Chain A
Amino acid sequence: MRRRRVLRVVKRILVYGAALLFTVFAIFPFYWMLLTSFKTNRDLYVGATDLGHIPWIFNEAPTLQHVRLLFFGTPYLVWVRNTVLIGAAVVLITLVCAVPAGYSLARLTGRWGERLGIGIFLTYLVPSTLLFIPFARVIALLGLQNTPWALILIYPTFTIPFCTWLLMGFFRSIPRDIEEQGMIDGYSRWGVIRVIVLPLAVSGILTAVIFAFTLVLQEFVYALTFISSVGKMTVSLGVPVALVRGDVFYWGSLMAAALITSVPIAVVYNLFIDRFIAGLTAGAVKG
């Protein structure tokens, strides 16, 4: 009996210990961003050679100078605006394509629709690193180099497959009976979609919007390939590329930008992750 209790305590300790280790590993860079963003330069650039100076904590009172520099001395806010505009356009295109496609695959097309659904999802796996070279030709042909339109045109290539699959899952999780009841009551299929299905799918569509938007915020490769002027960059390109002047890194402002951008994204993403997994697995389960 006692041995069992000891065993249980050991197990508890192991679980908590492992949880702690994983957490520290996961959030360490974020802690570092936070620390760097608010440290004074004197505190920051001591260097790891001075073993008496502990880099893990604030040795001097925190400062807002890096954040101020970021907002008033760098094009950060321009990048935020660019990102939001591009994101909004991409979300719009994605919804126009993915909502009808998701419904169609869930309800209107039989077995071949299922295969097609998997096929569309697999295109999500085609990586940007295989496509940026042909896109370089396409974008040059269209004369869209160094314009936001290049990104607005290209980003839906990964948001549409992803959101179509996600929405297919959500539409499948709506009971068929409700739709059939609607048709018995005299609605056409289109009427059913408009009056019954879309209102029920609002949360699913919202999830798709959030994910399309976060995917845009996270994208780096295409932006790196097609945007060259500092004033036209997105946040995820501008911060690592344009906040570095020559060989000088403004680490304080750089980390402040990383922190301010990534924490909201991460929080929103996290809030929706359960719905996202539900949608993803519902898409995989046959309806």
Chain B
Amino acid sequence: MPSPACGETTVLRREAHPAVAPAVIFRRRTLADREEVLGRIMLAPALIYVIVLVAAPLLLAVLLSFSASFSGSLEFRWIGLRNFATIIRDPQFHLALRNTTLFTIISQILVMILAVTAAHVLDAAFLGRRVVRFLLLLPWAVPVSLAAMAWTWIFDSTFSVINWTLKVAGLLDGWFYWFGDPTLAMIAIITVHVWRMFPFATVIVLAGMTAVPQDIREAAVIDGASFWRRLFQVQLPLLLPIVTVAVLFGVVFTSTDLGVVWLLTRGGPYNSTHVLPTLAFQRGILGANLGEGASIAIFLLPVLLVAAVGMLRVARRTEVGT
């Protein structure tokens, strides 16, 4: 490497510390001094990993959806839109699409109501607040497959504690076969999704609330704004960006979740609770029809695109704000 010309860094050093500068100038310039090169080298491993193992497979998923591909052989035959034609005529797929939308929308509405309320509760000073916060976070921290098993047991058709309690309270005449009835099974699945997602949303909203300047809230109180006005005209608008982030995360995590439905119902009873991920798993992995599985999973892509665009927008808006 040629000996040091007046690089950016050396100039900066001389200005900053004129007395020391000459000694520094004669130190050999190494790779480590060329910041933009060093930056790229340091970024490369992560970037390559992400491109090779996220971006490329994502593209492969799209390609597979246009092909007749089966696990067990590595054959790849282009068949155009035939997979899509098959699934679009399939009532099972329609049901899965409807279920995914329904699960996601209902559970996200419930999650956001619970999360904003819980965040307000946790924001108030009260005894044992730290303990409550700790306990509220447990559902999010626990492995979803294990939590789903606990819920499966809670909703067990013979031993369900919920049934027992409702019976004793005199609220239930007959019997709830939680996973034997499509509507009840959906209620169970939504319950578990809400249970799992609301702690995470609460934490995000809480972080957003602490970021809202205290003096704005106080000013609203002093100006005599009522509780509801404060909530709807001061708090919520300021919280909007962060709530948007929480909702986008929630939508992505819920609509693409495979574990909860798979472990609770396996898509049953009579395939009535399938969502896109479980159907894709059933057809693509268990049924070995990778092409068809991929074309089902592809329908999750628009959700992701909307989420990504939404996130970028929020990021840009907060950038302008600061």
Contacts and interface: CB of A to CB of B under 8 A. Distances in A.
Interface stretch (B101-109, B181-189, B217-225, B252-260): B252-260
A153 B53 CA distance: 9
B167 A51 contact: yes
Contacts of A138: 57, 60
B92 interface: no
A101 B45 contact: yes
Interface stretch (A15-23, A59-67, A70-78, A201-209): A15-23
Interface in B178-206: 195, 199, 203
B42 A27 contact: no
A190 B38 contact: yes
Interface residues of B, number: 110
A199 interface: no
A132 B312 CA distance: 26
Given A133-B297, A184-B16, A191 B54 contact: no
B43 A131 contact: no
B146 interface: yes
A258 B153 CA distance: 12
A128 B135 contact: no
Interface string A119-146: 0101101111111111111101100000
A166 interface: no
Contacts of A32: 150, 153-154, 161
A284 B318 contact: yes
Interface string B289-322: 0100110011011001001100110010011001
A246 interface: no
A30 B150 CA distance: 8
A255 B159 CA distance: 14
Contacts of B74: 137, 140-141
Contacts of B276: 129
Interface hub of A126, A186, A235, A261 (most chain B Cβ within 10 A): A126
A151 interface: no
A5 B19 CA distance: 69
A88 B249 CA distance: 27
B59 to A, nearest CB: 8
Interface string B136-167: 11111111111111110110001111011101
Contacts of A103: 42
A101 B47 contact: yes
Contacts of A49: 158
Interface string A274-287: 00010001001110
Contacts of B33: 188-189
Interface of B: 9, 13, 16-17, 20, 23-24, 27, 30, 32-33, 35-36, 38-43, 45-47, 49-50, 53-55, 57-58, 60-61, 64, 69, 71, 74, 114, 117-118, 121-122, 124, 126, 128-129, 132, 134-151, 153-154, 158-161, 163-165, 167-168, 195, 199, 203, 207, 211, 249, 252-253, 256-259, 262-263, 276-277, 280-281, 284-285, 290, 293-294, 297-298, 300-301, 304, 307-308, 311-312, 315, 318-319, 322
